[in-house]
Amino acid sequence: MRVPIHSSLLALWTSVQIAHAVPAGPRAVSNGYAPVSTPCPSAALVRTASGINAPEATYVASRKAIADAALISWLDKISNTSAFGTASLPSIGLVLSGGGYRALLNEAGILQAFDARERETSVSGLYQAFTYQTALSGGGWFANSLAAQNWPTVSYLQKTIYEPNFAAGLLVPDNIGALSSYGAIVSDIVAKADAGYNVSLADVYGRLLGYNLFTGADGGVSLKMSSLTSFSNFTAHNVPFPIITSIGTDLDIGQCTTTLNATQYEYSPYEFGSWDDGVNAFTQTAFLGSKLSNGVPSTGSCTANFDNLGFITASTSNVFPGLCYLFPVDGNPDFSLGGVIGDLAQALEVLTWSHHLLPIEADSGCQDILVKAAEPVFDILFNEIPNPFRGFAHSYAVSESAQLTLGDGGLSSQNDPIWPLIQPSRNVDVLVVTDIGGDNVVTNYATGGSLVNTYNQAQAHGLTKMPFIPSTDVFASENLTMRAQFFGCYEQNTVTLVWIPLASFTYISDTSGAQLEYPVSETDGIIGNGNAIATQNGDSEWPTCLACAIMKKSTTTLPSECQACFSKYCYAQS
Ligand X SMILES: *[C@@H]1O[C@H](CO)[C@@H](O)[C@H](O)[C@H]1NC(C)=O
42 binds ligand X, rule: CB under 6 A: no
Task: By CB under 6 A, name the one of 101, 141, 142, 197 that touches ligand X.
Answer: 197
The least CB distance from residue 172 to ligand X, in Å, is: 31
Shorter beta-carbon distance to ligand X: residue 12 or 314? 314
Q: Does 80 bind ligand X (CB under 6 A)?
A: yes
User: Binding ligand X by CB under 6 A: which of 46, 262, 446, 549?
Assistant: 262
Listed in sequence order, the residues at least 6 apart from 110 whose beta carbon sits closer than 8 Å to its beta carbon are 434, 500, 530, 531, 533, 534
Give whichever of 20 and 568 is closer to ligand X, judged by the CB atom. Answer: 568
CB 345 within 8 A of CB 76: no
Annotate each residue in 495-524 with x if it binds ligand X (CB under 6 A) or - if it does not, as one string.
------------------------------
Return the residue of 263, 305, 318, 444 that touches ligand X, per CB under 6 A. 263
What is the total count of residues that contact ligand X (CB under 6 A)? Answer: 25
Question: Residue 282 — φ and ψ, nearest 5°?
Answer: -135, 150
Q: Does 151 bind ligand X (CB under 6 A)?
A: yes
Q: How far apart are CA 209 and CA 319, in angstroms?
A: 13
Cα separation values, 268 from 51, 288, 405, Å: 14, 12, 18
DSSP string, 56-117: HHHHHHHHHHHHHHHHHHHHHHHS-TTTS--SS---EEEEE---HHHHHHHHHHHHHHH-TT
The distance of closest approach from Cβ of residue 253 to ligand X in the complex, given in angstroms and rounded to an integer, is 9
Single out the residue of 261, 332, 512, 555 in contact with ligand X (rule: CB under 6 A): 261
Task: State the nearest-atom distance from the C-beta of 475 to ligand X, in Å.
Answer: 11
> What are the CB-based long-range contacts (under 8 Å, 24+) for 360-365?
365/332
Contact between 396 and 342 (Cβ < 8 Å):
no
In this structure, the strands spanning 403-407 and 383-386 are antiparallel
CB of 481 to ligand X, least distance (A): 10
Question: Does 58 sit near ligand X (CB under 6 A)?
Answer: no
If binding is defined by CB under 6 A, does position 14 make contact with ligand X?
Answer: no
Cα atoms found within 13 Å of the Cα of residue 275, Cβ hemisphere only: 19
CB of 359 to ligand X, least distance (A): 13
Q: Does 150 bind ligand X (CB under 6 A)?
A: yes
CB-based burial, 468-497: b 16+ in 10 Å, e otherwise: ebbebeebeeeebbebbbbbbbbbeebbbb
Residue 191 interacts with ligand X (CB under 6 A)?
no
Tell me: does residue 478 bind ligand X (CB under 6 A): yes
Selected binder of ligand X within 198, 316, 354, 485 (CB under 6 A): 198
CB 561 to ligand X: min, Å: 9
User: What is the C-alpha separation between 264 and 417, in angstroms, rounded?
Assistant: 9
Binding flag, residue 82, ligand X (CB under 6 A): yes
Cβ-proximal residue to ligand X, closest one: 402
Within positions 393 to 412, which residues make up the interface with ligand X, using CB under 6 A? 402-403
Q: Which of residues 107, 307, 349, 379 is near ligand X by CB under 6 A?
A: 379
At closest approach, how far in Å is the CB of 82 from ligand X? 5
- 215 near ligand X (CB under 6 A): no
Residues from 154 through 173 that contact ligand X (CB under 6 A): none
- Between residues 121 and 263, which has the closer beta carbon with respect to ligand X? 263
Q: Distance (Å, rounded) from C-alpha 420 to C-alpha 373?
A: 35
**Is residue 239 a contact residue for ligand X (CB under 6 A)?**
yes
User: Using the rule CB under 6 A, which residue among 167, 414, 559, 565 binds ligand X?
Assistant: 559
Answer yes or no whether residue 8 interacts with ligand X by CB under 6 A. no
Judged by CB under 6 A, the residue of 37, 155, 222, 233 near ligand X is: 233
Q: Which are the contacts of 395, defined by CB distance < 8 A and separation ≥ 6?
A: 278, 279, 280, 281, 389
Nearer to ligand X, 22 or 482 (CB): 482
| Helix (H) or strand (E) run with residue 32 in it | none
Asked, as a colleague might, if the bond just before 376 is cis with ω within 30 of 0, I would say: yes
Q: Does 255 bind ligand X (CB under 6 A)?
A: no
- Separation CA 552–CA 488 (nearest Å): 10
DSSP 8-state class, residue 227: G
Q: Rounded to the nearest 5°, which phi and psi values hold at 133?
A: -145, 125
Task: Kindly tell me which residue out of 25, 254, 479, 540 binds ligand X, with binding defined by CB under 6 A.
Answer: 479
Q: Which of 58, 235, 259, 294 binds ligand X (CB under 6 A)?
A: 259
Cβ-Cβ contacts under 8 Å for 441 (sequence gap 6 or more) = none
**Nearest to residue 532, comparing CAs of 565, 500, 571, 562?**
500
Q: Please name every residue paired with 266 in a beta bridge, in sequence order, or none if there are none.
A: 245, 273
Stretch of 30-38, 76-84, 415-423, 439-447 lying at the interface with ligand X (CB under 6 A) = 76-84
**Interface with ligand X includes 278 (CB under 6 A)?**
yes
CA distance 106 to 210: 20
The least distance separating ligand X from the CB of residue 65, rounded to whole angstroms, comes to: 15
Position 203 contacts ligand X (CB under 6 A): no
d(CA 130, CA 151): 14
> Do 505 and 152 meet the contact criterion of CB atoms below 8 Å apart?
no
Binding residues for ligand X, per CB under 6 A?
Answer: 80, 82-83, 117, 150-151, 196-198, 232-233, 238-239, 259, 261-263, 278, 379, 386, 402-403, 478-479, 559
